[in-house]
Structures are given as C-alpha cells and as structure tokens.
Structure 1
C-alpha cells in the first residue's frame, strides 16, 4: 500500500452556506422500499458478495457463527417470581426460544428449560418474519405466580413492534387478548385488564422524532380505534422527543409516573397525585429514579439548590415524601472524582449498588441507607476489566438482598456470579459472590496482553485507549490494527470479551512484505474518546454540538499515537464504528484519510443536513444540533461526511454497511454516501445492505456473523495487502 506521505493532504473541510447548497442528487435513494432504490442496493450487494465470498472467507464466517451459536455460552436470565427467564438463539433456533427454568435448573450443567414461545415455529405458522423484541410481565397478586405478559415481536428487526398478550401458564397467546399493531409503541401494565399505551393512532399521535407523544388508558376488549378516540392520560407537544406513563405496582408504593422527554438529555418527571400530575421540580438534565420511598437524582450539569452545590455526575438521595413537602436537603450518595464516574445503580431490598468506572476500569460500591449511606467496595475487580452488579429480585422474601455480578475483560471470558449482601444492621458487607456460569474460551487468550495507553488530543486532553495484541508484538509499525470507537450519547466503551473478535481479528496471521518474514497477528484497539461517558457527563458534554470536533480530534490522536508508538503505520491501521460510531469513522474518512489504510462504517449517520428528517433523526438534535437553524448548520457542516466528500482526495478503501429495516438511523444515509463516493470515482468501495435486522443490522446469528466477519475480512484484506486495492467491489 502507499505510505501516508504519498497521500495528498486534504484541504480544510468547508461546505457552502445552506442557501448555496447544491441539490442533493441522491434524494431518490431515500425512498427506502422504492423499486429503483432497492435495485440499486441489490446490484451493489451482488458486487460485494462477488468480492467477499471465497472459501477462506466462508470458513471465517462459519467460525464466527460457531461462537454466536455455541451451546455452552452463558444464558443470561431475569428472575420473575420463582422462574428465571431467558431468550436464546442458536443454529437450530435462529429466530429464538423464549424459555424459563427454576434456580435449581439454572445451576445444572444442562438446564431443563420450559419453552414458552418458539419464534421460529410462530414465524413458520403465520408466514411472517417475526423477530423477538422482548416481553413485559404483569405483576401478579401476592402469593400468585406470574401469568400474563405483553410480548413484542418485530416484523423486520426494526424498532416498530407488534404487541400481543401471552399466557405464561398455557404457553400461548391469549385468544381475544390485548393486541397492538406494529408501531413504535410504549406500554405499561396497570392491572390484568388495563394498559397505559402510547402508540401510532394516526396523524398527530407521534412526535417529530417518531415516538408516541401521548399515553392513553386501554381496557380489555377495546380496539386501537377506540383508544385513539380517548382523551390522553398524559401528553406532550409534538416537537418534544416523546411522552409516556409507567405504572409501579410495588406494594406500599403503587403510583403512576409520567415522563416528558424534551430531548435526548433533558426530561421532566410527573407524579400522579389524585387527579393531577405533579411536576418533580428538579433540573431537566437530571436522571430521576423513584424506588419505594426514595428519590434519586443524578444531574448532568452542576446544580445549586437550598444553598448547597452539587457537581455534575453526583448521585443524590432524598425521601420522596420529604421532597414533595418542600425539603431539599439531599444526601450526597456519590460524588465523582476526575478519574471516576457513576455508570449505573441497582437496588436490592436493603442496599444500593453503584457501578463505577475509574480510568475505565470497573469498581462496585455497596451503600446502606439505614446506616447513613455507609458503603464499601464490593469484591475488588481486576484492573482493565468490566463488572456490573445488580439485584436478582429485590422483592423476593428469601433472596431480596441477592445480587448478580457479571464480569468480563478483553481476554477474560464472561462470568456470572451471585452473592448475598448482609442484613441491615450488620453493615454493608456480605458473603463473597460465587460462580454460577462461565463463558467458554473461544480463542487462545494466553497469547495476548491488554494494555491501557493515553494519547494527547489537540487541546491537550489525555484520552485513554485499550490495546489488545500479541505478547510478542513487534513495534515497527507493521501490525494490522483495527481502532474502534463511539464517542457519543454518554455511552462508555468498556473491556468486554468477544470470541468473534478473537477469531476474526486477533488470531489471524499473515506474513507481510517488508517485515523480514515476520508473521503478524491482529491488534485490536478501543478508544475512550470524548462524547462517551467514561468520565461522566462532563466527558460527554465536552464533545456536544459545536464541540463535536473534539471527539474526532481525540480519535485521530489515538491513531497518531498508535503510529508513533510503532504499533501500526497508516497503511496497517484501520478503523471501525457503527451508528454514531459510523459518523465517527465517516469523519475519519473525510477529515483524516491520511491516518488510515481502511475504514468499516456501519449503520451510519452521515448526512447531517437531512438527518432530522430521516427515521428517528430528530431525536438527536441535542447531540448534534439542528441543521435547519443557520447558526447550528454553521458548525454541523464541519462534521457532515456526506458534504465533506470532494474530488481529488485519496480516500482509504471503505466498507459501508446498513440494513433496510433500520428505522432508527435508516439505510438511506449509507446509500447516499456510497453513491456519492461512486460518483466521485473513489476506488476500493464496498457496500452491503441487509434486507432485515433493524439498527443492529442483523435479525439472527447467521446475519450477525455475516456482518461481523465481512467487516473484519474487508479490513484484514486491505491492511495486509502489498498495495491498495483500487478496484471497486
């Protein structure tokens, strides 16, 4: 391949003002199911398949599928009553089984599962391409077992689903039971004959972001048409992101809570008191959690109230009744340090579990509200690993203080442990967790090592990244390396075991030209750039809107650091990202092409001029800005890859992949980007669009294996080639 010096340095990214924008010549590709658009897709799918499908590739894909279908991988469960529920896909059940077992059954090497719903059999019986999308169970009366559920099924893997009432004892749908047609529905059980439902009931019922803007009361026997005619129980304006109502049936704390989601990061919470909705007057950017008598708040920005100042990312607690009476004397449950952040929390019967990151390594705290929120660290986690602790079933009389601990690392197969916290008055300790399940090993982990490094971004910020590579790694720039990132929506990228990455990347070997006969293996890197949540909300807000470029500068800094440290020169360094990560690598393509030898861009956001008009795009205005506001477009245009493409730049080979049924980002942005690159004569371009699978790009394990293996196959071929492939797929 050409050295980075052989590539022309790109000119500064500039885009004409909105009024001077040329017509979008590929608007016709926005007709998602149009005949011409789908013919265009099928032609390019065929080209990519022709280039991709070789015996070696098919063996790789089969190896990845074997990981996804492995019978001995961990069946994760959720406890409801006396049963432990699981959804499972494998080779024999590609659409999956919804099933359950007892605790004794789960501990067995081969659990005795009771199959509740066979989605493959359902799809075959109904002639529909059903995909599992979850279930919501109705809390039974005291002393009774769970009996009813609302099962969600997607016709294509998208976010729009059909809901049907299911009888758990009969293992069948309820004849004449609740049934809601396919839509982006939000629902909550009230009682056996009542649901709160927000769904598409016609014009004006959905927000500009494509989510429900009202919740209504649906009673047994009523149709969706009757639902539409009712007055909303709670409603929000159509320019808000969404609105909905949830019902809590916890004994002693039965209540209705409504949420008006203003945008992706701000919302208002309302409590039903008598016939009125009472606004909980806290900052709109605070995460609000109600649990029994407690109100928990986590503000995303600094907050001063009642003479006290609380920093962003602090977790605050106060009894709800006291708050409603006017008390604002919050207790600081957790205050972050510069290296530490709160990721999530979970209540057992008597304790609060906090999942933290310290320089992107896991840490778990147990807090005892009965002892003034005294706490201790739960079973110290090893460095450079992830761990997540959460309650098993806080309402179970016998195991209300039991917790799950799920731990993993890049080279550590995932484990599920279970422990019990001490009773109140005995402190916040408890017995050590014991191993329940352990994932099998899918590659030779002992031959690799995990390291954490820090790159320095353009503004001097230290940006951490994980590097997974062979123990005998030669630092001469010749190692095929893939750099992964996300950098948005306060999502943290943490260490996680992946047998698929182990097989599709780390264990691959090649003898590269010019490396003195040295056999090289893959190096996998994860960048913890700004825009994510690794260091709390401030790490995220540092790359919002007009500061979006900081996320891209961070990622570029990691790429340069890998080259400077001798891990990979530009011709051996690729990057991969999906969704917002697809936008990230789209900006690497258009703004930093000299840093990379290949790019894999999945289910991406790429046209920032029209994203608010496509699928659920309007819901992300708080993250990126509003392109219809001239002042916002002034900065948005600087990171809109579709508009940054220009002739005469030597772009690295690129694989763009998406799914027709993705109703969150949508496939049209990937289509238009590929079409414009083709029009500019950009060589080495692959494009693939799965015809189902939703935003994940895959509706079953076989599709997931295809997309995963294809992405890494593309990167491997390009990064180990002696010269760049200039032939379009």
Structure 2
C-alpha cells in the first residue's frame, strides 16, 4: 500500500521499511513542500513575484507584441474551418473567437454545413452563462442521447480543471433541464442508459475515490430520485486507478458497462446486464474497446490474445461478437504500420493507420459475416485525421494536412472522398521545406524526426532551432500543420523540429512499451541523439538549440536539462512532472505508476532517483536559463513540480524564467486570450535565448 500524505503529516502504512524510510527522507530533505499547497497564500505570493519578474523580461522582447498579435489572430480567426460532430442530421461545433472568448456551442443542419453555410444556431453562449452565474466556465464536452440527440449532458469546468460539473441540457428549449440530472464538481464520468437512467461514477463521499482521485464506485441513477439513492452496481479497489461508466447504442437501445483501469495500461472491460449483473469481456488486460458495430465489439490489442484456437498479435484490431463466442481479425500492424484508432457507426468501422508515420484510412464493412476493408483514397505523404463519424449513417469527415499545408476537409460516404473546404494558410509557406531524417540512438535504433524551415534558412547555415518532444503514453507526435509555430517561428527564420522518440505510438504498442518504467532512459537517449544529429548535420548549434515539451514532455525537458546541460541553450518546460519521487502523491500522479514506475517499490525507485530532475539538479552545474510555465488550476499535473524546481534553481543561484497562469487547467490556458499569451511568451523566450533576429516590421 502506498504512503499517504495527510496535510503536513506523513504516515507509513504497511510498506517495506526501506521504502518507507526513503520517502520520509525525501520529505525531511525537501524544504519546498509548502509550494505544493496549490492555493496557499505563501505559495501564491511566490508565484506572483516570479510572474512579475519573468513577464517583465519576456514581454520586453522586441518580437513579443507582434507575436501576441499573430497568435491572437490565428486562434480567433473567423476563417478557421469549424470542426464538427455529425449526429441526428446536424453538424455540432464549439467555437471560440475574439468575441466569444469562452465560446459558443452551436449547430446547423448537416446539409448546410456541407454546402459551406455560415449561419449557425447558437445553443449555449458560455460567455453569457459565465457572466450570468458568476463562474469562469470552460466548456469540456457533451454527451447527447440517441437516437434524437436533443438531450445532452454538458460538462463545465471552473477555470479549466479536470474536475467539473455535469448538467443536463435540452437543445429544443435551449435551457438546462429543471430538476434534471446534475452532478457537483468532481472528476465524474457518466453514460446514458436511456432517457431516464444514467450510469454514474463520481465523488459519492468518503472512500468513493481511488488513490489517484478518480471514481471507484459505479451506480445506476434513476431520474427523479436523489443521487444518494442511486443503486450501486460495481466497486473496484481503492489502489486501482479508475472505474469509468460506459455505454453503447446497439441501434435500438443503450447497453451499459464499466471501463476498469487496474493500472494506466491494465484494463477490465465490464458489461452490465439489465438485471444489474456484471460480466467481463474475455480480453487481455492490455486491450482497448474502440466501439460497437454490426453486432461486434471492436477491440485494439496492446498484447496478444488467444481466442477460439487463434492467436491475435499485439497491435491488431479485432471484432468480438456480442455473445463473446466468435472473434475475427479486422486489421493488424507491422514493424512500420501502426493502428492509431478506430471509429464505429451502426454498421461499419473506419480505421486510422500510420504507415511509417504517413497517414492511411480504411473503411471496413461486414459482408457475409466477415469484416472486409477498402482504403479511403485520401492524399498520401501527410497526416490524415478522422474528425467525425455519423453514428447512424457512417458518413465521415476526414482531413489531410502536412507541416506546411493546412487541413483539407473531405466528406467520405463510401471510399471516394469529396473535398468540401480547406483551412486558411496562417503563414507564408513559400520557400519552406519539410525534411525527414533519422538519428541513431544509444542502442542503435533509428529514430525519425521532421524538420520544418525555409530552404534558405537551411542553406545559409546553422539557425535557431526549437526541437519538440513528448515520448510517452503511446501518444503519437505527427507532422501536422503548425499554424503558430509556422507564423511565430519558422516564418521569422527559425527551424522547428518534431520528434518521434520511443514512448509514443508512431510504430504501435511496441514503440511505447520499449520505454516503460526502468527502460525509460532510452526515450531520453532518443531525444538527445536527435539533438546531436541536428548539430552534426549543420542545421543548428548548441548555442542555437532550444527544446520544448509539456506534461510528460515537461519531464523530458527536465531530464534533458539535468543530464545534458551542455547540449542546449534554451528549454521550455511546460506543465511538467519534475519530482519523480513524489509524483504519485500529487493529484492524479498515482495513475501513472504503470508508465514511470513506483517510487515506493525498492526495485523501481533507484531508476527514478537517477532521472528525477528535481533531485538531480546540481548547485555547481552550468545550466541554460529555462522557462517554466504551468497553471494553478491544473489538477492533473500538480503545479508544485514546476514551482519546486524553479525555487531550487533560485536557491542555487541559477537563472530561470517562470510563468504560472492562475487559471487554465492542464493546457495552461482557460481561453483563447490566455492561450495566445502563452504562445507569445514561449516564442519570445526562444527568440531571446537562441538569437533569432528576424523581426522585420517589428
């Protein structure tokens, strides 16, 4: 059982003596635990003083004002193509611009959207709602009831935190339902079981949450009854990660289930009978349920499955019959081909794939009981995206893009896409090039990366370069169109680099699993090998190379700074994990033990001690001046990580810049104005540190 921190007191509970003592030592030797008090007066006073000091530096940069104006213009442009969700004959969209800062939830008929109409029906004005209710509402999504989709469960967050309220909304009357379903602020999860019933996972009171702060109890809630009378149908252990209610529409009615995460990667997919009994899908622990189509569950495998005398490989997509008696292969990956995701409608499945990091999309339909696929003929050589799929008709809106070509939107009813519109170009791509290279990592593995720059920039010799990385949680970093990076950085003569290091999903589950827990140094080696390769190719120099990452990528930045301070001139460290000996005690951190390892496990702790940036910061090292940015309202990655690391640098006399948005959630911004400011600060920082001087007209 893990140690628990209760206020300022520490209690060791039934763990090994060595592990307990090591954690006690961490706390005794950490003078900055007070910075973990998210809204503590002393902590916020320190934050405000650092904000004031750092903003005075960053906002004084000659390019800052222009960059802020450019970022604002891009983020709030009326020329952006609205991305929609198709359902019930309508196209639904959430829109933010300079006038609708918090945003408008709106719709128009699907026919009008496809014809390029501009007149939207506003369903909910978040700015007006926030003013009326005196709340800083941030829209966090909707779940609408099939088959009419006119009753919806809206999720609204205060300031952008993961914890949010859920309120039932009626589209026809454009109002919240009086006496309808409503949940107070929590990290809740809900699923429709019918017009008058919900599956609910929320904070039901003491003992109802996991150690990670997520629901562990699932109940069925009947309309017209108080939540306290909801009937419990399942409970998972507190040391597990979560239990999320789920449901699927089989074309006639809803059927319920539970997504039970034992760890971040080990799952049980549970089905709920009409009588309230729970059964488990016969799947390995590392498998994901992608949807339900034509009587089959659609499953992505992260490890092999033996079923019915057949073995289905890691990375395969399979169909499992609803009676759980038959399985068949839909698609499978190879060393170069990775399944990225699947979407389902009533009768078909559309699969997004990467073929050596180039996009493909395939539509599968069941014929004579067998799933058969045909490629959707989208352009090659870039990134394809499935934006929405109509759950009834299977109509798809897909996109194609590459780093210097904005999204083109396609309507796909069968196989042949029909171009319907194109996003505007937000930077001048004339003379820009996209080049792909490979670096050799410490174990000999070839690691791909993409360089975006003006051709003349590359020809004229080393240039200021921003290298972006993430490397975790099987998240693929794809060479998409980067409007703000292109405008604020590349157009000014900078080089931007996307990296495909291990830990991501670019080459399937194996690419991710190669860097789990104690193998994680390979991820950092990959990233540093790309940095050295950029220098060897003459694209940049150590004095012109900056690196950027957020969240897990913020950890990557912290490790890169403490391991190779000689290699970088600038480091942007966003919403980061940095104290890897206490990360599992902070907010949602316990849920990531499957990714990083357990600090309380004597076998896993030594590696975390070796790489943890906070504990490995040296007083006598020569570090570049980093820029930390985070958010007070981030209730996923605790702002204490960035605060403590920056404060320790202050104690040691190292230079740093620090900006903490007092609201904003895990994205470090609660609205478009805040997002534009963060981007301008970020690129002004790199311009100053790396010597970018392309400020014509500024």
TM range, smaller chain: over 0.9
- Cα 1:526/1:479, change in 2 over 3 Å: same
Per-residue deviation, 1:437 = 2.4
Structure 1 distance, partners of 2:346, 2:152, is 24
Give TM-score scaled by structure 2 length. 0.92
Is the contact between residue 477 and residue 569 of structure 1 (CA under 8 Å) also seen in structure 2? no
2:317 pairs with 1:315: yes
Query: For 1:440 and 1:474, how far apart are their aligned partners in 2?
Result: 26
**CA-CA distance at 1:130 after TM superposition:** 1.1
Aligned to 1:45: 51
Q: Which residue of 2 aligns with 1:268?
A: 268
Q: Show the 5 A alignment for 1:223-372.
A: 223-224=226-227, 226-227=228-229, 230-252=230-252, 254-273=254-273, 274-292=275-293, 293-321=295-323, 323=324, 325=325, 327=326, 330-370=327-367, 372=370
Structure 2 partner of 1:483: 467
Normalized against structure 1, the TM-score is what?
0.89
Of residues 651, 654, 678, the one that matches 2:623 is 651
Q: 1:203 to 1:217 in 2, by over 3 A?
A: same
Q: CA deviation at 1:246?
A: 2.2
Map residues 507-656 of structure 1 onto 2, 5 A cutoff: 507-508=491-492, 521-656=493-628
User: Which residue of 2 is the match for residue 416 of structure 1?
Assistant: 409
Change (3 A) 1:252 1:191: closer
Q: Is the 8 A contact 1:391 1:401 kept in 2?
A: no
Does the C-alpha gap of structure 1 residues 373 and 248 become closer, same or farther in structure 2, counting only changes over 3 Å?
A: closer
Q: Hey, what's the Cα distance between the residues in 2 that align with 1:150 and 1:252?
A: 20
Q: In the alignment, what sits opposite 2:88? A: 81
Q: 1:245 deviation in Å? A: 2.4
Classify the secondary structure of the residue corresponding to 2:603: helix
User: 1:513: which partner in 2?
Assistant: none
Q: Deviations over 1:101-156 (max 9, x none)?
A: 1123324545211111111011111111111111111224xxxx432111111111
Contact 2:290-2:343 at 8 Å conserved across structures: no
Displacement after TM superposition at 1:592 (Å): 1.2
Task: Give 5+ residue unaligned stretches, structure 2.
Answer: 1-20, 694-698
The answer to whether residue 234 in structure 2 is matched with residue 222 in structure 1 is: no
Question: Does residue 690 of structure 2 align to residue 687 of structure 1?
Answer: no
Deviations 1:386-427 (A, max 9, x none): 1023663131xxxx1422111211101112110211xxxxxx
Cα deviation 1:538-573 (Å, max 9, x = unaligned): 000000000010000000000000000000011111
State the 1:299 CA deviation. 2.1
From 17, 26, 33, the equivalent of 1:27 is 33
Asked if 1 retains the 8 angstrom alpha-carbon contact of 2:86 and 2:388, the reply is no
In terms of mean alpha carbon deviation, does 56-65 or 305-314 score higher? 305-314
Q: How far apart are 1:305 and its partner, in Å? A: 4.2
Cα distance per residue 1:52-86 (max 9 Å; x no partner): 22363122111111000000101111122122111
Contact 1:348 1:403 in 2 (8 A): no
Matched residue SS, 2:362: strand
Q: Spell out, residue by residue over 1:682-727, the C-alpha distance to the aligned partner (whole angstroms, 9 max, x if none).
A: 12x10000011100000111100111111111011100179xxxxx
Which residues of structure 1 form unaligned runs of 5+? 1-15, 422-429, 509-520, 723-729
1:468 has 2:470 as partner: no
Correspondences of 1:121-136 after superposition (within 5 Å): 121-136=128-143
CA change 1:25–1:365 in 2 (3 A) is same
- Residue equivalent to 1:709: 680
